[in-house]
Amino acid sequence: MHIFRTIDDIKNYSRTTKQESKSIGLVPTMGALHHGHMRLMTEAIKTCDVTVASIFVNPLQFAPSEDFNIYPRQEAQDINLLTDCGVDAVFIPNPETFYSPNFTTYVEVNSLSKNLCGKLRPTHFRGVATVILKLLHIVMPDTLFLGQKDTQQARIITQMLADLSMDTGLCMLPIVRETDGLAASSRNAMLSPVERTEACRLFHALNHASEAIRQGETQATTLQMMIASDLKKSAMIYVDYIAIVDYETLQPIETVGDNTLIAVAAFVGKTRLIDNTLLSFQENRKI
């Protein structure tokens, strides 16, 4: 596997790959790789000639009060995982050179970035959209692979690609979970053993709501109250939001239906976790 650390080197590799008429799949990550990330790698390898992963804990998407400094970093282990999986190249930029000292250009995907995670983290999606657009210009992939775990992010990037008339395709893959249902996440490593046990309540609460929907419940407020009451059972869980929204607009809805997103964000101890259910989500949704 090629390891590139400078923008020029990965650009040269991408240019050569394109000159050979090979398709490129890009899987952007912040590292501390787990089987959720690896599912994206496997799909990229299956569908593209060349798979490029990136590992970059992007400072632009963290507010000063957030967990940038303690975010898990395990580069050597990540490189081994990517090599074993068959990824062709990894781009691991240096934060000091990735953004020049006078960097001042940002991408705002306005209305979609304001609610859900955007309420507590008002500059988060600006950082995400900016880093993704910069990576797209550098790596020039045909397809970008993202996870449903970060649905709002995938929705925002879909909008950005459309608004800026970009040709890159987007493939969003379903959430990969641990055996007890907890969504795989790099942040899970930050949980204490007891917090780790409590954290799977997020998944169970979402499941409870999905089961109620299968039984005929359609009222968003009833479902929200049901999730809130499930999460209240743990003194370690502090809810940021429980949202029932339309996936396209990310605006609240009163009655659930096709394309409804049920999303939760909660602190388990000091660690903020997110999880969601997308009603009628199809495997390998091509957007």
Catalytic residues: 37
Q: Which is nearer to ligand AMP, 150 or 230 (CB)?
A: 150
Q: Which ranges in the chain belong to alpha helices (H)?
A: 7-19, 35-47, 75-85, 95-98, 117-120, 124-139, 151-163, 193-199, 201-214, 220-232
Q: Binding to ligand AMP by residue 37, rule CB under 6 A?
A: yes
Q: Does 25 bind ligand AMP (CB under 6 A)?
A: no
- Toward ligand AMP, which CB reaches closer, 38 or 220? 38
The Cα 191–Cα 208 span in angstroms is: 23
Provide, rounded to whole angstroms, the least separation between the CB of residue 101 and ligand AMP. 25
According to the binding rule CB under 6 A, does residue 184 interact with ligand AMP? yes
Of 79-87, 180-188, 189-197, 218-226: span binding ligand AMP (CB under 6 A): 180-188
Per DSSP, 184 falls in state: P
244 binds ligand AMP (CB under 6 A): no
* Distance from C-alpha of 280 to C-alpha of 193, rounded to nearest angstrom: 33
Residue in the shown chain whose Cβ atom is closest to ligand AMP:
147
**How far is the C-alpha of 151 from the C-alpha of 155, rounded, in Å?**
6
Candidates 25, 36, 118, 141; binder of ligand AMP (CB under 6 A) is: 36
Asked if 30 touches ligand AMP (CB under 6 A), the answer is yes
The answer to whether the Cα torsion of 209, 215, 218, 222 is positive or negative is: negative
- Which residues are CB-neighbours of 4 under 8 A, at least 6 positions away? 10, 13, 89, 90, 91, 92
Q: Is 40 in the site for ligand AMP (CB under 6 A)?
A: yes
Q: Interface with ligand AMP by CB under 6 A: which residues?
A: 29-30, 36-37, 39-40, 146-147, 149-150, 173, 175-176, 183-186
